[in-house]
Amino acid sequence: MDTQTRSKALRGPVRRGLIACAMAASAGCVASFLATRQPVRAADPVPPVPFSAVVVTSYFSPEGKLARTASYDYYRFRDGSFAMVNQRQVYPVAKQWAGDVVDLQLHRDLIIEPVTRSVITLKRTREEQLSFLAGLWNENCPDADDHVEAREDGETLLGFPTVHITTRLSPTWKQDRWMVLKLKCFSVKDIDVSGDSRDETLVTSLSEGEQPRSVLSPPGDYAERAPGEVAKAYALASGGDQIFRPRLLARLAKEYKAGR
């Protein structure tokens, strides 16, 4: 997860990279996509429909065997704020990963790290936050820059009608998404194939309605820590694993200090 979206045309590659890195924090990536970001454009002014969902991703080996399963809880709010919390690997062993929060009312983004019970608060302007949201596939409907090669009515999933699109990101990289238009094209099913790699994402529950804004805050017993402090505490707690790559840690530390 060394880059964030530079344009809507890069949403697919970036999105895949973000998820892969979040599922492999012990390999040297931060388990949060909020750690890296690039401006994109102004966000869609249409008010989002609030909802909550449970998202499960299965990763398959080149031989087609299930290698890993991971899950997170997703919450979108009427003002466009959202949270991805309780991020964890479910199979083959249970692991916890950092959660992400974008709070548009308080102009802050949070990286909530459960292993060290830490929170990193990154202060953002509303313009920065909206620009970041504009580069996320699940926060926007696809347009002409998103490499869509096919579109059709999809099946009804979890009680919601969907639109099925096929995106061709490269000659060997194809993604199929089943999106709910009412929810700004939030994907409830996603099959991502790149070469001999295949990931399948499925939303297992989806409910409309505004959730308590407490979802956008860390647990009360979590301590505010600078990125460097979290990195050291994480390494001690995990037997030497690094939650941030060195270059990313340096940039996070700079951003964190600027917001104090």
Summarised one tens digit per residue, pLDDT across range 39-79 is 444 445 567 899 999 999 999 999 999 999 999 999 999 99
Across residues 206-210, what is the average pLDDT?
Answer: 96
With CA atoms as reference, report the closest residue to 72 among 51, 52, 97, 54: 54
DSSP H stretches of helix in 52-169? 126-133
H helices of the chain, where? 11-22, 126-133, 227-237, 246-258
Give the per-residue pLDDT at 32.
60
Three-state DSSP at 127 gives helix
SS (H, E, C) 4-53: CCCCHHHHHHHHHHHHHHHCCHHHCCCCCHHHCCCCCCCCCCCCCCCEEE
Residues 6 or more apart in contact with residue 147 via CB below 8 angstroms: 9, 12, 167, 168, 169
Residue 142 has pLDDT above 90, yes or no: no
